[in-house]
Amino acid sequence: MLERSIEVLLGRPVREAEAREAEQIIAGGPLFIMLPPSLNAAFRLFRQRGLHEYILIGAGPLLALYALICVFGTYFFFAVASPEEMRRWYLGCTFVGILLIIGVLLVLPRKAQATYAQRVFLPALLILTKLVVAPQVFTPIEMAISESYFCMLAVIVVVLALRLNLFTCVLMIGLTALASTVVFAILGVVPRFGEVFFYFISASALCLFIRWQLEENEKVSFLQALLIDHHSEQERAMARELAELANTDTLTGLANRRVFNERLEAEWQRLIRREAPLSLLYLDVDHFKPFNDTYGHDHGDQCLILVAGAISQCLRRPEDLVARYGGEEFVVLLPGVDTEGAIDVATRMIAAVDALMIENEGAEPSGFVTLSIGSATRIPSRDSSPESLLRLADQALYKAKENGRHGHCMAPPDALVS
């Protein structure tokens, strides 16, 4: 994959401080960009994106270009060079060819990406040094000038085509100049400046300038990708928050009415196929209006939060759902639960709210906040609807209130929706 997420390269999400710093760096202009230390490793990985594919595509043309240079050089030099000079030419071609093949083989494995610069450094350095020194061993001016041109071409390939960073390129050019000077001193020759160093230095200066500009642009691209990643994560977080707000009752943290209706429909269709029972509990906090009038709406909200927590703890399966249906009303969906199971859950919920012992002067005769629960259990079929189950539970809740509240009433198995 050519592009990789900055979060993947960092091994963590982009920090807010890093995003702000990236914005400041980009706003300051694309010259002399200094990346924060925390981003340097990720930037190195960013520069390596697609490197393996680049090597696979580029190795063939590079070797073909070298072979072409050798063939045409041999053809043109044969007429002007002595046998001894042609022997030197062949030896030089063989030396460079071996180094090229070694370099290609060293970087072909995918795992070589991590140490790519170290693997190509020595072969490239030896090739550049050979091409700087080579013009001194040829007497014909045509061969010396051609070797200088080949040296310029090698500088272009090394600095611009090998995708090395600027520091590595500067180090390689400097070591090439040093190694060439040492070889000249050993050979006891004075280099012909116009035919050797002028081409080498001018090509190096131009290519290093271009490499610097390319690297600055790569840093800008990296910082822009970092900002895109950061903004995308912020958008995803906002989308998750909005989805949670859309699905959650803001007061109690329970699922809201919309989510419950969707789950009721989905479970109804699923259980039609399984021919399994579906139980629904309809809960109402007894005497809640007097509670609000006596203690105030803030205490009323706290009461609902406590009740929601108590009834939620009574559910033991992940597929069970409790939701706030509106006001002081709650609904509970129990897929695959029969009548006895629904009665057990309802009984535990009534006891859990009783255990809270929330005082309510308007509740007679208990003096505490209590629950009334109506429940219904049916095996879903295509001849009925999930809304009918909800209405049956609502009718059972009404019956529980008629019976004096603080209790549970189960819709009869043969009850019809009125």
pLDDT in tens, 86-119: 999 999 999 999 999 999 999 999 888 889 999 9
Q: Are residues 197 and 336 in the same domain?
A: no
Q: Are residues 122 and 264 in the same domain?
A: no
State the CATH number of the domain containing residue 324: 3.30.70.270
Q: Are residues 225 and 339 in the same domain?
A: no
More confident residue, 244 or 326: 326
Task: Indicate whether 196 belongs to any domain.
Answer: yes
Q: Are residues 203 and 264 in the same domain?
A: no
Query: Does pLDDT of 400 surpass 50?
Result: yes
More confident residue, 41 or 347: 347
pLDDT in tens, 32-90: 888 888 888 889 888 888 898 999 999 999 999 999 999 999 999 988 888 998 999 99
Q: 30: pLDDT confidence band, cut at 50, 70 and 90? A: low
Q: What is the per-residue pLDDT for 58?
A: 92
Q: Are residues 221 and 273 in the same domain?
A: no
Query: Does pLDDT of 417 surpass 60?
Result: no
Of 12-16, 73-77, 117-121, 175-179, which gets the smallest average pLDDT? Answer: 12-16
Task: Indicate whether 210 belongs to any domain.
Answer: yes
pLDDT, average across residues 279-294: 93
Task: Indicate whether 298 belongs to any domain.
Answer: yes
Q: Are residues 291 and 366 in the same domain?
A: yes
Domain that holds residue 269: 257-410
Which region holds residue 34: left if phi is over 0, alpha if psi is between -120 and 50, else beta? Answer: beta
Straight-line distance from the first to the last Cα atom of the chain, in angstroms, rounded to the nearest whole number? 62
More confident residue, 100 or 135: 100
Query: Does pLDDT of 1 surpass 70?
Result: no
Contact 280, 396 (CB under 8 A): no
* pTM confidence score: 0.64
Q: Are residues 279 and 227 in the same domain?
A: no
Task: Indicate whether 416 belongs to any domain.
Answer: no
Q: Are residues 167 and 285 in the same domain?
A: no
Q: What is the per-residue pLDDT for 2?
A: 40
Q: Are residues 166 and 313 in the same domain?
A: no
Query: Does pLDDT of 418 surpass 60?
Result: no
Q: Judging by beta carbons within 10 Å of its beta carbon (0-12, 13-18, 19+), is residue 316 exposed, middle or buried?
A: exposed
Query: Does pLDDT of 158 surpass 80?
Result: yes
pLDDT in tens, 46-55: 888 889 899 9
Boundary of a domain, candidates 231, 249, 277: 231
**Number of Cβ within a 10 Å radius of residue 236:** 10
Q: Are residues 393 and 266 in the same domain?
A: yes
Boundary of a domain, candidates 213, 231, 249: 231
Q: Are residues 225 and 265 in the same domain?
A: no
Number of structural domains (the chain) is: 2
Task: Indicate whether 135 belongs to any domain.
Answer: yes
Query: Does pLDDT of 194 surpass 70?
Result: no
Phi, psi of 79 (to 5 degrees): -80, -20
Q: Are residues 213 and 268 in the same domain?
A: no
**How far is Cα 209 from Cα 211, in angstroms, rounded to an integer?**
5
